[in-house]
Structure 1
Amino acid sequence: MRVGEAPETDWFVVIVNGPAARAEVVAGLDGVRDVLLPLVLAGRADAAPDSPAGMLAAIEDPALWAPHGEGDGRPYWHLWVPVEGGSVSVQRLTEPPPQPERTLARTAELRALLADLQALLRTLSGGRAGPG
């Protein structure tokens, strides 16, 4: 990776707009497929190359993504496609999302630091209890 270049990730945010609107952060193109497949099976999409069905068939092909913008110049930057009553957009994340176990560990560290700080403040205030 060059200086100033965003790291490559295998994470995407998929936003479905319309009657069954939702947004999901998914891992890899398989995760994108998992979101698109129900739209195709529900008949909300045709097989045109720029439809979810067409996307599903060609999702590994960087050429599918290219017309939707250069982004950071790497394949699978982002794409958008209309579906019945809405649209689907897919955006590759440039940073991996926080992992729950890492977030929980960091939260535990911060709680311990705050408890130490609270004890120190109580000592400095002569033992008077404060809020909390």
Structure 2
Amino acid sequence: LDLWFNGSTENLATIFPALFSHTLRPAATVARVLGYPALNLDLAPRLTHDAEHELGNLRDMLASVSMNLQVMDKRTGRFDGKPMTCKSAYKVVWINKPIDPFATTIWKNYAPNKCRIFLWLAHKNRLFTNERRFK
């Protein structure tokens, strides 16, 4: 969760570290958290004194905030500025990884899928042979 605070954007995890250490969902959206008035839906039970104090401060800060749930989520990718998709996230994760030269040979052939999976696991040394099972 990010917060526009004193002219700059700050992450709530840095503003409220004790409270953030008790969260069960660190990637929760602002709309989800603010959708429940108690604000403790995704917090571990039995907060520390510091976390209780920070929760009170956060409730005071958010008392004047009103969310419009009718507005669509407009998150965009950092690299291309387009709406986030699984495909774009996957590309970002693998952008600096080298391409396996055998991948196209293994996956782009007419063998049954179970054979291709077997070849891929053998190529990546992920088959559980009797020797590995013994260890």
TM-score, normalized by length of structure 1? 0.26
TM-score, normalized by length of structure 2? 0.26
Q: Which has the higher contact order (CA 8 A, sep 6+)?
A: 1
- The structure that is strand-richer by fraction is 1
